[in-house]
């Protein structure tokens, strides 16, 4: 009978140790956040210009709602515009100076960007390069830097 009690105590102790291990080894949310592409408040943007494959679309905000003003005049889908505006605060995985990368290979060389998808929020332009096949992140150029961001915005701009 004493062996049975010892076995039960051992199993109870083992269960407590395993429960404590599971409880204290749970993944805690990562307190590190990735930097944002810009610190611009999307609510302050009044004009958006999108260029892709030689075509251009112009959106303007009037009285709190978005309107497509070019190539035709029609009300814009507010949900879609808000999603596009999230690009301003996209999480940046890496930041590079153009001299650190082969800009020709990633589609962001100065003489190659004329045909690239580009978006202008008021006066801030973002040019889209290729997707890195190893990471699935898209190269974008804004000002004097190249960034890698998740490739969730380009499909919105090209459709």
Note down the domain range covering 55: 42-158
Average pLDDT over residues 4-23: 79
Domain annotation covers residue 33: no
Domain count, the chain: 1
Domain annotation covers residue 14: no
pLDDT top residue among 22 and 101: 101
Domain annotation covers residue 110: yes
Long-range Cβ contacts of 47-52 (<8 Å, 24+ apart): 47/120, 47/121, 47/122, 48/81, 48/84, 48/85, 48/119, 48/120, 48/121, 49/119, 49/120, 50/84, 50/117, 50/118, 50/119, 50/120, 50/157, 51/117, 51/118, 51/119, 52/117, 52/118, 52/157, 52/158
- 62-94 tens-digit pLDDT: 988 999 999 889 999 888 899 999 999 999 999
Domain annotation covers residue 8: no
Domain annotation covers residue 149: yes
Domain annotation covers residue 2: no
Check residue 25 and give its pLDDT: 72
Domain annotation covers residue 81: yes
């Amino acid at each position: 009978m004493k062996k049975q009690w010892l076995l039960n105590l051992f199993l109870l102790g083992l269960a407590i140790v395993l429960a404590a291990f599971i409880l204290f080894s749970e993944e805690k949310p990562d307190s590190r956040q990735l930097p944002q592409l810009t610190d611009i408040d999307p609510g302050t943007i009044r004009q958006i210009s999108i260029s892709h494959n030689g075509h251009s679309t112009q959106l303007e905000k009037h009285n709190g709602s978005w309107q497509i003003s070019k190539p035709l005049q029609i009300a814009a889908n507010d949900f879609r515009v808000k999603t596009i505006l999230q690009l301003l605060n996209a999480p940046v995985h890496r930041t590079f100076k153009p001299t650190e990368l082969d800009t020709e290979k990633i589609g962001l060389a100065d003489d190659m960007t004329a045909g690239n998808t580009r978006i202008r929020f008021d006066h801030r332009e973002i040019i889209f390069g290729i997707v890195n096949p190893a990471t699935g992140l898209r190269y974008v150029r804004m000002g004097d830097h190249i960034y890698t961001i998740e490739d969730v915005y380009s499909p919105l701009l090209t459709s």
